[in-house]
């Protein structure tokens, strides 16, 4: 798992969330397709989150809420509850939104294992999953271009912890990574969705 400062967050359901677990399904990131295309070779794909090029999301493993951090502030800016995808209409899905990729931290573990196993089995390049500028002998960066070619293409098998996603102001919708085309394919059926709601804490009532 990536090295980072351990953080904690209280979910409205009462659960205490932390990003300090190796099996981390707490932190998710949404990255627009346009950002991926604009930064094909700039730096490692998993560095996008450290360059303010992605939206950080925390998901509660008890109630399935999503909590969004739309800016550098430590405060949650949006709360969303899980909803039935069958409740979504075509007109609602067609409203203005951003299309991209959403993944959780377990994808980092998958890619790290994949790159390491390729290096050990056939002597392939020892790619750097995160940029380490202080290390003079660091290997090639595993860039956005490489993620598209080797992970999102499925040529090397199923990577489980990412989805095509559409992010609206009041909605986030996941589509299967195995579907044909990309998230612009309006014939694809959503597999998961969360809708924004107004969170009121008791101290604010």
Would the pLDDT of 3 be above 50? no
Q: Determine the 3-state secondary structure of 4 from DSSP.
A: coil
Would the pLDDT of 2 be above 50? no
Would the pLDDT of 150 be above 80? yes
Residue at 139 is within a domain: yes
DSSP 151: I
Residue at 61 is within a domain: yes
Which tokens in the block code for residue 159? Answer: 């990577």
The pTM for the full model equals 0.86
Residue 172 has φ and ψ, to the nearest 5°, of -130, 135
Residue at 132 is within a domain: yes
Residue at 4 is within a domain: no
Other residues' Cβ atoms within 10 Å of the Cβ of residue 35 = 17
Which has more confidence, 181 or 14? 14
Confidence of residue 200 (pLDDT cuts 50, 70, 90): confident
Structurally, the chain folds into a number of domains equal to: 1
Residue at 15 is within a domain: no
Residue at 19 is within a domain: no
Distance CA 148, CA 145 (A): 5
Up-side HSE of residue 38: CA atoms within 13 Å toward CB? 9
Residue at 17 is within a domain: no
Question: Could you tell me the residue range of the domain that residue 73 belongs to?
Answer: 25-199
Lowest mean pLDDT among 39-48, 90-99, 148-157, 162-171: 148-157
Lowest mean pLDDT among 113-122, 127-136, 166-175: 127-136
Residue at 159 is within a domain: yes
Q: Provide the mean pLDDT of the chain.
A: 85
Mean pLDDT of 182-191: 66
What is the per-residue pLDDT across 41-97, written as a single tens digit (0 to 9) for each? 988 999 998 888 999 999 999 999 999 999 877 789 999 999 999 999 999 999 999
Up-side HSE of residue 23: CA atoms within 13 Å toward CB? 1
């Amino acid at each position: 798992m990536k090295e980072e400062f351990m953080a904690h967050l209280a979910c409205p359901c009462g659960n205490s969330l932390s990003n300090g677990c190796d099996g981390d399904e707490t932190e998710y990131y949404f990255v627009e397709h346009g950002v991926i295309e604009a930064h094909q070779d700039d730096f490692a794909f998993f560095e996008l989150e450290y360059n303010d090029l992605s939206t950080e999301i925390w998901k509660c493993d008890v109630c399935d809420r999503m909590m969004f951090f739309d800016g550098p502030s430590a405060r949650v800016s949006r709360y969303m509850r899980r909803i039935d995808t069958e409740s979504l209409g075509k007109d609602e899905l067609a409203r203005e939104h951003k299309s991209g990729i959403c993944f959780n931290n377990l994808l980092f573990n998958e890619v790290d294992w994949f790159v390491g196993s390729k290096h050990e089995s056939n002597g392939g390049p020892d790619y750097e999953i995160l940029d380490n500028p202080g290390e003079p002998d660091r290997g090639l960066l595993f860039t956005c271009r490489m993620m598209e070619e080797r992970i999102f293409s499925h040529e090397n098998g199923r990577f489980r912890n990412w989805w095509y996603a559409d992010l609206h102001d009041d909605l986030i919708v996941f589509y299967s990574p195995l579907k044909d085309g990309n998230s612009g394919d309006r014939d694809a059926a959503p597999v998961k969705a969360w809708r924004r709601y107004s969170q009121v804490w008791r101290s604010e009532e």
